[in-house]
Amino acid sequence: MMTARTEDGSAVAEVPDPPGPSDPSGPSGPSGLSGSWVDVGLTPMRRRHLRSVLRIESHAGHRGWSLGLFMSELAIQTGRRYLVAKVDGTVVGFAGMLFIGSDGHVTTIAVHPDWRGRQIGTRLMLQLTREAIERGMTAITLEVRAGNEPAQALYRRFGYAPAGIRPDYYRETGEDALVMWAHDVDSAGYQARLAAIEADLARPDADHPGVALDHPDARGDRP
């Protein structure tokens, strides 16, 4: 078994060993291997990661965050949490959350297209959600493109439900954003939901299609 771990060594989720050596086709990840198991490490995002983060941002279907916005977020010492997912030292995904009062807000989440289908986004969401609960959050919100049904399915897996629409939220495409909320994340029932997600991560037979995740655009929208 392999284990996804945070920088302090705490386990996030155990996953089976990959069935064989990965295709060494390049640092961005082996294409055409959707569903292959990989050893994923989660670590706090640092400025040294931003070149790789921006490379992933360039694959977004809308205007992504700028270098300046990422740097300003990382400079804030409280009320923020940003993580990167690494495979063999390569940043393949990232996510972030903002904390205000008892509410968390998923501000950004993305996985490189070559690495989708390996539940990297799920692992990032799982770790951020658990940290939000540890910080005393009782509800978490996010925005997603109204037409991105695969991403919405992932968020529903974490207990998110639609709560409203923000018209023309993604400027470049003119798409609306669906606002989703997960409530009572500090409850025993929600802990059971997270435990089931983690258990599913360890299933080698699970079917996990690649999902293009969404996040707010660079207008600086904040709850």
Catalytic positions, please? 143, 155
Look at the block and give the residue holding tokens 């991403």: 151
DSSP code of 92?
Answer: E
Q: Is 95 left (phi over 0), alpha (psi -120 to 50) or beta?
A: beta
Q: Which residues contact 1 (CB under 8 A, 6 or more apart)?
A: 14, 15, 16, 17, 202
CA-wise closest residue to 83 among 61, 110, 118:
110
Distance from CA of residue 93 to its chain's centroid? 7
Q: Which residues contact 77 (CB under 8 A, 6 or more apart)?
A: none
